[in-house]
Amino acid sequence: MQKEFLRKHGGPAPRYTSYPTAPHFHAGIDGDVYARWLRDLKPGQTLSLYVHIPYCDRLCWFCGCNTKQTLKYDPLKTYIAALEHEMETLAGLIDPGCRVTALHLGGGSPTMLRPEDMIALDKALRSRFHFDPDAEISVEMDPNDLTADRYDALAAIGMTRASIGVQDFDEKVQKAINREQTFEQTREVVEQVRARGVRSVNCDVLYGLPHQTRKSVDRTIEQVLTLRPDRIALFGYAHVPWMKTHQKMIDESALPDVTERFAQMNRAASTLTMAGYTAIGIDHFALPADSLAIAAASGSMRRNFQGYTSDTADALIGMGASSIGQLPQGYIQNQPSTGEYQRQVNAGRLPVVRGFELSTEDRIRARIIELLMCDFAFSFATIRHEFGGAAESILDEAEYLAGCDTEGMIEFSGGLFQITQKGRPFVRSVASAFDGYFGTGAARHSLAV
């Protein structure tokens, strides 16, 4: 019965880092539309900046990011110059009274940047946008890239959060995903960033990888816990070779099935909570004093393309090839081809290739899905307060869905729609019931657990 239940509710479903999800973006949203949305931002509104560096010096076969391998540095120099052109265009459209409260450097491998280019990129951003003095600066880090001068450069740009990819420390698993990285390397990164004043460290761990077992995941978690990171992201490997062709290098016969994946997730989660971490949403754990744990406890946590976040900025401005932006009006995505992206920004154009403008119904469904993904619950009173009578038909759907539940996944009482402990691992599947686009088009998704 458990296997049948897992297969029914743990099947493919969106990760819901947006609603509608990216496969439903379309070419009707272009640079002209984006420019209009940017001009509508008002003085005092807050911005979160995301800068995408789509290069790595090795290609990890499990990776789902938009990136490419290069052993030469020249492409990065050219790309950084193009990024400055995009910044210039954006800054000319955004009211200078808008404040930057967060900057995230992602990839790819931002730590591939040479120290002088890291510092120059930071100066270029700060010369064009108004940063709050306490703006959070987070950087995704590959331990294999790091050197003393790079650590110093990260300190110089004011990095406040280091995000370190661990995945798994088992050598057999590492070889199967082309990601060899020792525990000692990882420990060195944590020690070096903390020695330079970084107050928050995040480690990413994966389950569901080839050759992983419950015992091997346990060993990795135990090693990570000796580092006492402030946050741990426990992600299920998303095997999507139809989207990421390099994942075809992974032996599918070595992948754990949905039952084993579920067991790996549960054991790791139990170990983390017993070690004093607060479980947050579907895949994050944080020490109680961490800002994400505080946001989750207060109900202010959000979910966007970077996953769970305490960032409550009014707009997310994506820069770089393939990056996604989120504004009050909707979403935009930049050209994914680095060559075409550079041609467009160097010509002074916004490199938008597609996007989505939200209707009132989209906003209501997006809010309900975000609340489910963050809090596993939403109140009818909250939705009515935010959207008025426009929400009634969707609230009727919620009440009907709760009434049809015969498996103990949903509780509904006093206007509170709540996912039970039994249903929480399958929240993506529950959220998909509110997704008006799910099942339409050709989109395919990874497993929900």
Does residue 438 sit within a domain? no
If asked whether residues 135 and 274 sit together in one domain, one would say yes
Q: Give me 329's structure tokens.
A: 């009006």
Q: Give me 366's structure tokens.
A: 């997006």
Does residue 2 sit within a domain? no
Using alpha carbons, list the distances in angstroms from residue 133 to 101, 103, 321: 8, 12, 28
Work out how many domains the chain is built from and give that number.
2
Burial class (CB in 10 A: 0-12, 13-18, 19+), 99: middle
If asked whether residues 286 and 412 sit together in one domain, one would say no
Does residue 1 sit within a domain? no
If asked whether residues 261 and 402 sit together in one domain, one would say no
Q: Give me 145's structure tokens.
A: 């890239």
SS (H, E, C) 271-308: HHHHCCCEEECCCEEECCCCHHHHHHHHCCCEEECCEE
Q: Reply yes or no on whether the pLDDT at 442 is more than 60.
A: no
Last residue of a domain, one of 357, 391, 412: 357
pLDDT of residue 2: 74
Does residue 445 sit within a domain? no
pLDDT of residue 394: 98
pLDDT of residue 444: 58
CATH of the domain at 421: 1.10.10.920
- Residues 6+ positions from 304 with CB-CB distance below 8 Å: 17, 18, 311, 316, 326
Does residue 3 sit within a domain? no
Q: Reply yes or no on whether the pLDDT at 118 is more than 80.
A: yes
Last residue of a domain, one of 357, 384, 417: 357
If asked whether residues 249 and 307 sit together in one domain, one would say yes
Q: Give me 235's structure tokens.
A: 């992600």
Longest dimension (CA), the chain: 61
If asked whether residues 406 and 323 sit together in one domain, one would say no
pLDDT of residue 448: 59
If asked whether residues 102 and 26 sit together in one domain, one would say yes
CATH of the domain at 262: 3.80.30.20
Does residue 443 sit within a domain? no
Burial class (CB in 10 A: 0-12, 13-18, 19+), 148: exposed
Q: Which contacts qualify for 398-406: CB closer than 8 Å, 24 or more apart? A: 398/368, 398/434, 401/433
How far apart, in whole angstroms, are the C-alpha atoms of residue 380 and residue 361? 15
- Residues 6+ positions from 8 with CB-CB distance below 8 Å: none
If asked whether residues 142 and 251 sit together in one domain, one would say yes
pLDDT of residue 4: 79
Smallest CA-to-CA distance from 280 within 375, 177, 379, 406 is with: 375
How far apart, in whole angstroms, are the C-alpha atoms of residue 95 and residue 98? 6
Smallest CA-to-CA distance from 220 within 286, 284, 279, 173 is with: 173
How far apart, in whole angstroms, are the C-alpha atoms of residue 313 and residue 45? 8
**pLDDT by residue (tens digit) across 45-55?**
999 999 999 99
Q: Give me 238's structure tokens.
A: 């998303």
How far apart, in whole angstroms, are the C-alpha atoms of residue 357 and residue 329? 6
- Residues 6+ positions from 421 with CB-CB distance below 8 Å: none
If asked whether residues 313 and 386 sit together in one domain, one would say no
pLDDT of residue 441: 63
Using alpha carbons, list the distances in angstroms from residue 263 to 9, 278, 431: 15, 19, 22
Do 305 and 50 meet the contact criterion of CB atoms below 8 Å apart? Answer: yes
**pLDDT by residue (tens digit) across 47-80?**
999 999 999 998 899 888 889 999 999 999 999 9
Q: Are strands 130-141 and 416-419 parallel, antiparallel or unpaired?
A: unpaired
Q: Reply yes or no on whether the pLDDT at 333 is more than 80.
A: yes
**pLDDT by residue (tens digit) across 296-325?**
999 999 999 989 999 999 999 999 999 999
If asked whether residues 141 and 201 sit together in one domain, one would say yes
Q: Residue 240's Cα: distance from chain center in Å?
A: 17
C-beta atoms surrounding 212 within 10 Å? 26
| DSSP state string for 113-133 | S-HHHHHHHHHHHHHHSEEEE
Does residue 447 sit within a domain? no
Q: Reply yes or no on whether the pLDDT at 27 is more than 70.
A: yes
Do 412 and 418 meet the contact criterion of CB atoms below 8 Å apart? Answer: yes
Mean pLDDT over all residues of the chain? 95
What mean pLDDT do residues 138-142 have?
96
**pLDDT by residue (tens digit) across 197-244?**
998 999 999 999 999 999 999 999 999 999 999 999 999 998 889 888
If asked whether residues 392 and 351 sit together in one domain, one would say no
For residue 399, give its domain range: 360-432
If asked whether residues 342 and 396 sit together in one domain, one would say no
If asked whether residues 93 and 108 sit together in one domain, one would say yes
